[in-house]
Chains A and B, each alone.
Chain A
Amino acid sequence: MASDPQSAANQRIVEDLVSRLRRRQLVGSRAAALETLLVLRQVVSKARSSNINQLVNIIRAVGRRLVEAQPKEHSVGNTVRKVLHHIREEYHTASEKPVVESSFSIAKFVLQGQPRKQTTIVRSGSEARAPLKENDPNDPDSFARVLKPVLMEAIQDVFDELETVYDNISKNAKDHIHSDEIILTLGTSKTVDSFLKAAAHYRNYTVIVAETAPSYGGREMAKSLSSAGISTFLVPDSSIYALMSRVNKVILGAHAILANGGMFATSGSLLAATAARSYSTPVVVCAGQFKLTPLWNLYHEHGALDFGDPSAVLGFDEGDLVEKVDVINPYYDYVRPELLDVFITNYGDHPPSSIYRLLKETYDDEDNEL
């Protein structure tokens, strides 16, 4: 009963996003996160539910559709998880039930060590709301009526967070980049771009950008940085190791940060991180919190199984050769946590080893599998 009349409308916007994700018309983790959030907002505002479980199930179903459409775009699932987490939190505050005040037992005692859930910002001036009633047969809409405004507010918060993510990451840029340093980066990453530009307001430093074949994202990056007045060098990927002895810091973007503290990032990142390790150069990763993914990289070598267009590597004009060789053009590298030093997120700076804790604070365990 929960999803008959309004599901048609929902279906349309969900399907629209699904097909855009599947056709790769929508790429980039932040863009995907934003679009997901817009869809979820629609879904929540239209959803007819008389208790929390119905609502959660509706959102989960939508989430699953979206994730299946493009499983490698992790920020989609992450956004769904985050919204679910907020919904539950709002529900608990609204229902004013003691959250987990269940009986004391040894098993619960062990769980005391579990990372504490993020505390909700207590909204001041919340006028006495009508008590939250679930499954009220006389007034089936009362649940939605009371909870919906709060939920919309919560979703708006997530939205605002995404809007300001670059500013918040760049906030401390000047503490990480010092004068006259030489920074190495590669690929295009909006996050790294704004981070470097923010630091340039305070410091004079040099950036070496690897051009990052075959997408040549590095060229765009170099263009963007130099137009902001930063002294920039564009170098071929093959010289990363040779230049590493001169580099003070490697700054990378991420596609997804995994629970063990490793990450998926533009291919070439592993090369840079490994070279940095051999010179003990610090590797800094800039990424928004929405990239935190509650996944372990289970299958290291297949982790990067997301391939781009091989013609960028070997074009069809090479005629005979195309028949004789297999060409692969992976989008991402998996970079092991040992190779990374720090993650700079909009929620502070963290070493790879405490990522799992951030994850427990950000999402609910039951949502790891949507």
Chain B
Amino acid sequence: MADFQIYESYQSLLKNENLSTPLAAILALTEMMMHSNAGTMFELLNELKGGAEALSRQTSNPIGLNAGCELFIEFITSFPQDAASFSELKTELIRHGQQYAEQALTYRAKIAELAFDFIKDDSVILTHSYSRVVLQTLLLAHKRKRISVFVTEARPRGLGIKTAEMLTAAGIPCTVVLDSAVAYAIDKVDFVLVGSEAVVESGGLVNAVGSNQIAIIAKAANKPFYALAESYKFHRMFPLSQYDLPSHNPGVLSFPQALGARALPASSGLPSKSSSVSSDNGSPIRITQEDIARNNPDVDYTRPDLISLVFSDVGSLTPEGVSQYLVGMFAG
């Protein structure tokens, strides 16, 4: 048991392009069970919880994988224990985990089918960053309808460019817009379609940073904002503000104290070419993209009242509907 490294296993699972973080987490826990020599349910659950915690500790943005771990552990807790022996029960549970991961891969197609009905011919769609389920939906829509797509660049990771490349390769008319140009573009857009990292108990959405401002703009322009989320992304969490997300840490949006104290470290690199401003003591000040990214959040939280509908493999739900599923799973 001790030689099993859950984080390594999780990382290697993530190399599979199709596996999203919650599924990889479930599979990592399954693998952990295989290596486990726990003799009772209590021990097993303890180990799994430990594993989930270890995973969560080692990742900077643990929201997605938390959702997966939570689902799997809750499932095991409520699993009817009528197997003949504990090892049999364990095999059974492992089988369930793997079976689910396999089955869950079909969910994106299901969601694409659902969302497809909401895309009318000649639609202009705005999407944000990169999401496999959104991509699949757009590709499906492209087969039978004419669509064109605006993709935000989605700094700091810039994954929107990846989406745009893949859409263009598929022959879908597609333009990358700056994150700061969303309000400029919104009037040309019919609706917004985003993926998700997790959907939380309030019905709100955790997704790549920028989703929140897009939702606010969409609301102001009276455009529908649709989120796509596989049901394993339903997460039992109730953030009241951006800063309640587990991905938030004191480093995000912190002010460098150095500036006021005139102690900006000289190690901050080369001056940017456009402007070179000097601080009082003469050392040049420049801010690189990396500096910015380090100080900024990866994900943000979108309030449920900004979301029109959540499409998931269990149906198209209003944000309120999501919380009902969560309550059914974890409190039912």
Contact = CB atoms under 8 A, between A and B. Distances in A.
Interface of A: 104-107, 109-115, 259-261, 296, 298-299, 353-354, 356-357, 365
A105 B96 contact: yes
A106 B71 CA distance: 8
B332 A113 contact: yes
A354 B203 CA distance: 14
B120 A106 contact: no
15 contacts: A105-B96, A106-B71, A106-B72, A110-B231, A110-B234, A110-B325, A113-B324, A114-B325, A114-B328, A260-B309, A296-B118, A296-B316, A298-B117, A298-B118, A299-B120
Contacts of A115: 324
B331 to A, nearest CB: 10
A106 B74 CA distance: 10
A113 B327 contact: yes
A357 B327 CA distance: 14
A346 to B, nearest CB: 23
Looking at chain A's contact residues, the main secondary structure is helix
B328 to A, nearest CB: 3
Nearest to A352: B318
Contacts of A299: 120
Interface majority SS (helix, strand, loop, mixed), chain B: helix
B321 A106 contact: no
Contacts, number: 66
Max chain B C-beta neighbours (<10 A), residue from A106, A353, A354, A365: A106
A284 B86 CA distance: 58
B171 interface: no
B281 interface: no
Contacts of A353: 318, 320
Given A105-B99, A106-B96, A113 B318 contact: no
B232 to A, nearest CB: 7
Contact of B321 (A104, A109, A296, A357): A357
Contact of A109 (B75, B104, B118, B326): B75
Interface in B86-144: 96-97, 99-100, 103-104, 117-118, 120
Contact of B232 (A110, A114, A354, A356): A110
A110 B71 contact: yes
B141 to A, nearest CB: 13
Given A104-B80, A105-B100, A356-B321, A110 B117 contact: no
A109 to B, nearest CB: 5
B158 interface: no
A356 B75 contact: no
Nearest to B103: A107
B117 to A, nearest CB: 6
Interface of B: 71-72, 74-75, 78-80, 96-97, 99-100, 103-104, 117-118, 120, 231-232, 234, 309, 314-318, 320-321, 324-329, 332
A298 B320 contact: no
Nearest to B97: A106
A298 B326 contact: no
Contacts of A357: 321, 324
Contacts of B317: 356
A105 B118 CA distance: 30
Contacts of B329: 109-110, 112-113
Nearest to A354: B320
Given A114-B314, A260-B318, A354-B320, A107 B100 contact: yes
A365 B96 CA distance: 26
Given A110-B314, A298-B120, A354-B320, 20 more contacts: A104-B79, A105-B99, A106-B71, A106-B96, A106-B100, A107-B104, A109-B71, A109-B74, A110-B231, A110-B232, A110-B234, A110-B325, A111-B314, A112-B325, A113-B326, A113-B328, A260-B309, A296-B117, A353-B318, A357-B324
B71 A112 contact: no
B102 to A, nearest CB: 11
Nearest to A302: B120
B110 to A, nearest CB: 11
A260 B314 CA distance: 16
A357 B79 CA distance: 27
Nearest to A360: B315
Contacts of B234: 110
Contacts of B232: 110
A105 B318 CA distance: 25
A365 B315 contact: yes
A347 to B, nearest CB: 18
Contacts of A106: 71-72, 75, 96-97, 99-100
Contacts of A260: 309, 318
Of B72, B120, B231, B318, which is in contact with the most chain A CB atoms at under 10 Å from its CB?
Answer: B318
Q: From B80, B314, B327, name the one whose CB has the most chain A CB atoms within 10 angstroms.
A: B314
Contacts of B328: 111-114
Nearest to B315: A365
Given A114-B328, A296-B118, A109 B78 contact: yes
A252 B103 CA distance: 46
A112 B324 contact: no
A260 B118 CA distance: 13
B318 A356 contact: yes
A259 B120 CA distance: 18
B238 to A, nearest CB: 16
A115 B316 CA distance: 13
Nearest to B317: A356
A74 B82 CA distance: 48
A299 B118 CA distance: 8
Nearest to A368: B315
A111 B100 CA distance: 13
Contacts of A114: 314, 325, 328
Contacts of B314: 110-111, 113-114
B68 to A, nearest CB: 10
Contacts of B309: 260, 296
Nearest to A103: B96
Contacts of B325: 110, 112-114
A262 to B, nearest CB: 11
Nearest to B107: A107
A147 B79 CA distance: 36
